Amino acid sequence: MNRQPRDDGEIAFNFKDGLTIKKLLVTKRHQDHLVNGHLAIVKLGEKYELVPTAVAQKIRTRDPNAVIVCNDAVEGAQQNADDPYADYKIPDDLDW
């Protein structure tokens, strides 16, 4: 009921489920929301769905194994001024 539509996703978002690396095709907006902790990935049977983090937290109380990715919410992340790599962005869709 609370899952987010992702029919037009073109960006591969890689995540770990147990010992397996999985991939979902998401939009740039969904990718940003996943990274910033506004969306989460939950497992429904053999499928993976995007849901708001608040919904994922409720699911986690019922079935902790169903929530696969749920990052902490980030509101305007602050960078350390002494970080020599602050100008380099690490891609979330890094292929290995």
Domain boundaries, the chain: 11-69
Quote the pLDDT of residue 7.
72
Nearest to 27 by CA among 46, 42, 5: 5
Q: Within 10 Å of residue 89's Cβ, how many Cβ atoms? A: 7
Nearest to 48 by CA among 91, 14, 11: 14
Mean pLDDT of 65-90: 70
State the pTM of this model: 0.71
CA distance 13 to 27: 9
pLDDT of 42 above 70? yes
Mean pLDDT of 17-43: 90
In this predicted model, which residue has the larger pLDDT, 96 or 61? 61
pLDDT of 79 above 70? no
